[in-house]
Amino acid sequence: DVIIICVPTPLNKFKEPNLKPVQDSASLIKDHLNIGQLVILESSTYPGTTDDLLSKELEKSGLKANEDFFLAYSPEREDPGNKKFSTQTIPKIVGADTSSSRRLAQNLYEQVISEVISVSSSRTAEATKLTENIFRSVNIALVNELKVIYDVMGIDIWEVIDAASSKPFGYMPFYPGPGLGGHCIPIDPFYLTYKAREYDVPTKFIELAGEINTSMPHFVMRKIIDSLSLFSNKSISKSKILIIGMAYKKDIDDFRESPSLTLASILKKNKAKVSYHDNFIPKLPELGDFPNLSGMKSVNLTRKKIESYDAVLIITDHSYLDFELIANHSNLIIDTRNAMVGIKTSATVIKA
């Protein structure tokens, strides 16, 4: 009765949308499509995918969209690792180009979702998903840029954000980091920039945010090089580095687009001896984009192990981590998550 398409929508090496998984799914479905079925796309994509690409492929079955079968778009909303919200409690957006398709999609999701919000078209729903992630990308880029500026001035960006957060109106805190990860925020904005080119509309703001966020691992890398030279009198090529956290955010096992991968790869290319610790990711699989990391295994965190490294690089601040153990036995700590705030340590701590 209902077919829901939830497939990846990645980018190619030119930062352009790769909708082949959606196309292939539609091609498979069309050979088995029946009158009266409801097809819903949930994959993040640019406005027009549902009523253009998906509709045209399904209509090769000989059936007419929104007449013989029903078609809708309802973006996935998820915050991995967030225990405050579940699939059931996160409001669901539904968009379709006819009232019949909207009503059917809304009735479906109302069986399991607490609140379903219907919008006027599939394009509006597709744009809603992109807007949510572009909002986050741009604001994260802003604080990342401020981090770089304030670092030169000797100002702690984390203290600034905490102070600014005391304002009860007109401000929403976003936090800097070593770069963006996951399947949404680093990727979705480029779906809109790609589609906007079709209309000859510039997307400078969105593209600049992407450039800033993409540059963050290189900022962290400069911090590592400078800190090793200044405090250990060592070069990268002669250093042992322990990366804490391979996941792109805390308390999850997803390492897609993780800045840890980029940093580990750059460090290895610079002849550093690199290890990582992450209980959520005991072993890295074969990685086409990072072949020099394929098969790496997580090391255990012990006093002796930590003491053996020239620097500990905190990328992911998982809740289970014993930061006091890290603080007490590290020689040098490069902290990209403000994880060491309030923890006494004899080690040199550099925020990056």
96, 184, 246, 326: which is the annotated catalytic residue? 184
CA distance 305 to 330: 9
Among this protein's residues, is 184 annotated catalytic? yes
Active site residues: 184
